[in-house]
Structure 1
Amino acid sequence: MPRKSQYSRTTTGQDIGLPPIPDGGEEEALRNLREWLDGLTDHPLLRHCRPPAELVIPVGVPYAWWRSPILTTLDTMIEILERAAPDGLHDLRRRFQEPRETNPAGRGDFYNLRAEMAVAASFAEAGLDFAVNTQAGPDLLIDAPSGRRVGVEISHRGPDALGSIAMDVLARLNELLLDIKVSLMAEECAPASIRTPQRRQLADAIVEAAEKMVDEPFVLVRSAVVPDRPERDVPPLVVRVQITPLPMGAGVEVVSSMTSGAQHTLDAVAAVAQQPLRSEQKRAQARRMPTLLIADITHLDGTAKATIDRWPSAFASEWNPEDPFVALAAMHCPLNHLTPCMATSINPHADPLVAADVTRSLKPVAGLLRWPPMQAPHWQRDGVPAGP
């Protein structure tokens, strides 16, 4: 089904911190979030305190930024974490307050932290006794029923297909101070990943065409890009780009639309799995303690949670006999959602007693150990005891 993504709009001026909340009975709104953001002037969240460029607000009417679903959800998340008060929470707050660029790269860095916070909050809501790791190693730590220490590593992957092209174009056109709209339209189901040289080539063509526009109603650019994993028999993708001038002062808008479906989502899930599964640093961590990998696919191009029951099937083909991880989960948690939607693939080569112990420790977390009936863990099928 067609999906459309609007990655950003240009804003003029710099962030100056959280705006005040006017009198009117809502002065205590977002109390937790405002404490974590206190004094910050360059945080990616501050962009949600400004009205969207297309929103017309009458003179004298304040923009109710404190009702933003993205901000209210994060405020609730922080409240849950502070109520649970896990060991190491101070480190999570410190990383939350670290200076970040407000460009797409800075937002991507924050999305990774936000995914960790969402998982931690779901653990807290489930009543798990967990800690935020303040040392080198997995992000979160849990003690299994046997007393075994279990690591949870959360990995975020940003878009590296149409979304990456859109964000690159946005950043480059912002520097040119143009008033322009760029629409990227995939003519077929887009691959989950596009080769870096191909992404750069198309971005270069778009920027060059935008610079040459003079009194034109619109300009079309048509280009073919090659998927990152041609061994999956994904054909080259034709992308049609329309460039349209906007009124003076409107800034830059970049949108992308594509056709996505079950196979696209499965390819995206598999692409996400590759990076943490093959990272030698994470593999070394997993050899020191049983580890669950959680791959956040929320911000991949065109990915939706509709095919959640098929995610473990996509992961199943990625396992190698020497993989040290106990399990791999996919997570989908949009910025206005509090509870992550997750599904898990158990490593078929893992020690069954260790794997059973890990799953017992994580069982209270809603949806985390969800798999289709045919994907049931081998110790459930073969009668292996549920842990020591």
Structure 2
Amino acid sequence: MSTLLRIATAGSVDDGKSTLVGRLLYDSKSVLTDQLEAVERVSQAKGLGHVDLALLTDGLRAEREQGITIDVAYRYFATARRTFILADCPGHVQYTRNTVTGSSTADALVLLVDARKGAQEQTRRHLAVGQLLRVPHIVVAVNKIDLVGYSKERYDQVAAQLAAIAEELGATVSVLPVSALVGDNIVERSSRMEWYEGPPLLELLENLPLHPHADADFRFPVQLTIRPQEAALDPAHVEYRGHAGQVASGVVRVGDPVVVLPSGRRTTVVGIDTADGELAEAFAPQSVTLRLADEIDVTRGELIAGAERAPVPTQDLDGMVAWLSESPLRVGQKVLVKHTTRTTQAVVRDIDGRLDLDTLRPHAAETLELNDLGRVRLRLAAPIMAEPYATSRQTGSFLLIDPQSGTNLAAGMIRGDQAFSDNAAVPVPDIPDWSI
């Protein structure tokens, strides 16, 4: 059985992201005949001497007319070894928020760099986003290697630039030379670069390890408490009470002791139900219904966690945010915080600074503007079960929402100083002040 890998692409404008995605789809035989014919017609109408594979992903009319990517385009393809969901993200700086969206759930980030230009400002920005979002794997494809004569010397220069930036950010990257237009090192090894001894891009992606959830702490944000109406109308009806949701991390088994937060009530799991019947255990990211031994009042937004190591509810939140709104964020502003299935009111207590992507250092700031990455402190009206993003991308992330319009304002990542109820647990590693 193949495993699922979520990929996001990023890079500067005209680095060839859409062409790379189109090449992956085409060479892996994941393009329907009518799709290819439509792309061939558009390519001929544009007077091109080749099939523009970028058109396979540039789905919006504005994208095709301008030759740029604006929206995040999701594509699906599969090989014998793995199934892929690929998010093709835009490269323009004004669409950095789309890159944040596409990378937030990715298992791997494929970052393209033009071999002629080397690392650009957007390269640094996207590497910073990938590191802040804790994308497990970052792969850098040095594209258009054919336009520099397949030069190993030029590739080594660009790879050294990338290594220096990655070291500044504390990131680990894999680098390989490719030509998306020609197909070198995309699906098959290129005979034009005998000096490159690594795998082609698709083979590398097929073999990236997925991080299992078995060793993670059990977390289950409750979406809905199920109690059929028949139980209230018919006294003879056997009453059923279950709590539905998706396992965010870890494993739960029948008989496991758990705690319901923020109330702190302890109980035991007596049943795990699905539409196909009962289970003895459930693990992330399965959607299940848990039955508990005790009749505890559990509502949407509460968290069922393993009893031995549970997060401490808090009303003070310290996090890094990617500001996605054209209206700036200011101290004192009222927002909604959505954390897992829980939404509560909050006020911005402080803006601790903005990340300068040229120097990768924090600068003092009174506001955050569109596409800024900054550190904020929030005071919440009701407690949430916050955990460090470095520990869990599921329970360590949050959204800031405009209370009037309901639009998303920011994607947030909780910093690593949130406490746990078990002081004997393994501590979060010591992280520099501006890292999450």
- Pick the structure with greater CA Rg: 2
State the TM bucket, normalised to the shorter chain. under 0.3
Relative contact order (C-alpha < 8 Å, sep 6+): which is higher? 1
